[in-house]
Amino acid sequence: MEAEALFPPALRDRLGNDASRAIPLAMDPSCWRVDGAPRATVPIATREWLAEAAQGLGNAEGYDLVWVLLRATSELEGVAQRLLGSRLPRATVRQVLHGVGARTLRVEPFAALLVRVLKIAQAVYAAFREAGHGHEVAWAAVADRLWSPHPTGRRNRNGGEALGAYLPSLVQAASGNARRRLRKNVEAHRTVDHARALLARFAASPAASLWPWTDGAGRVLPAGDDAVSPEIAGTAFFTLLTLTASERRSRGGPSGGLSRPYAEAGFGAQEWLPDRTDDLAVRLLVAGAEQSVPDGERLEILSALVRATLGDRTSLSYERVGIAASEAEAMLARARERLPDLLAWLEQNGRELLERT
């Protein structure tokens, strides 16, 4: 946070003559006083920090307050579920609210908003205490700062910039940004429904014949089904995409060399940066899951099949795949022949779901 934005002229005047000394101290966490059991002084929106904060609140104020907050959080999740759509998994709703994978979701999470308010309150309080004011004065300054006039991003009747209380305006701006980003996702074909459409299109089209792993009778492995389902396609695409993202990270990018089928399919292009590739992989995995949680065992087996097809057979268990060891070589030979075409289809059709920034 910038000191100029955090401490407007009116607040500097209230600090008094020591403002020029107190503000730099307040903005420097190393100068803050802590108790005898130090913990993270600067709040950050991680699950660990928030869990520690909740535990500390319970120890200091009693767990009745914690249960009130948990009930409020549950109510907030319920409202968010209605706003985001009843078909959206509850886990994804919680991710949007609490900041798990915020870089992937591209939405300002509730936890990050909460932490921003905490940082503002912490810095203002520290500045007033460093300037020699007592607790009551410092706390009153915090309350005034959070409710001070602030641009809302709207216009008044005369066309001028509308002002509102800072804290509601902050929430309003965050929700507005989230709505705009979600709308852009819809316009750019990056919603869960678009991901489901890609999987359904693959399973129902001749592209399903590109499925690399089949037994001697032509049944789809590892499920043993007669046809490729959107669910198993989503799991396989997740495995394929996360593997190429991992290769780009560990080998220093395309110049370090991708596995040959990936390189020939075009995954060395700029669009397939690791973060974006992982983003698409997760959306396809979630879109294909029949339940709110994807099938972990099937994911593990498909990961082993992909690696075995690329040459690493150390983690492949033929019994779990559903074939005899004597059929393994023929199965892998078919897979190596079909995998390049499958990757080419995935690269071509997945581009429309990539986020371009």
Domains of the chain by residue range:
3-187, 192-353
3-state secondary structure string, 331-352?
Answer: HHHHHHHHHHHHHHHHHHHHHH
Q: Which of 194, 174, 173, 188 is nearest to 96 (CA)?
A: 174
Strand locations in 143-253, DSSP E?
Answer: 149-155, 161-165
% of the chain beyond a pLDDT of 90:
24
The tens digit of pLDDT for each residue in 26-54 reads: 888 777 665 555 555 667 767 677 777 77
- Alpha-carbon dihedral angle through residues 200, 194, 239, 275, given to the nearest 10 degrees: 170
The backbone region for 138, taken as left when phi is positive above 0, alpha when psi lies in -120 to 50, beta otherwise, is: alpha
Cβ–Cβ < 8 Å for 208, 227: yes
Element (H, E) at 23: helix 19-26
Average pLDDT of 87-112?
Answer: 60
d(CA 297, CA 181): 34
pLDDT attached to residue 290: 65
pLDDT band at 99, cuts 50/70/90? low
The CA angle 274-279-280, to the nearest 5 degrees, is: 100
pTM of the model: 0.51
Predicted confidence (pLDDT) per residue in 166-183, tens digit: 777 776 666 665 556 656
Q: Is 114 helix (H, G, I), strand (E, B) or coil?
A: helix
Mean pLDDT of 238-250: 91
Highest mean pLDDT among 26-35, 227-236, 253-262, 291-300: 227-236
Q: How far apart are CA 163 and CA 180, in angstroms?
A: 21
| Amino acid identity for residue 33 in this structure | R
* pLDDT surpasses 60 at 108: no
CA 188 to CA 190: how far, in whole Å? 6
pLDDT band at 103 (very low <50, low <70, confident <90, very high): very low
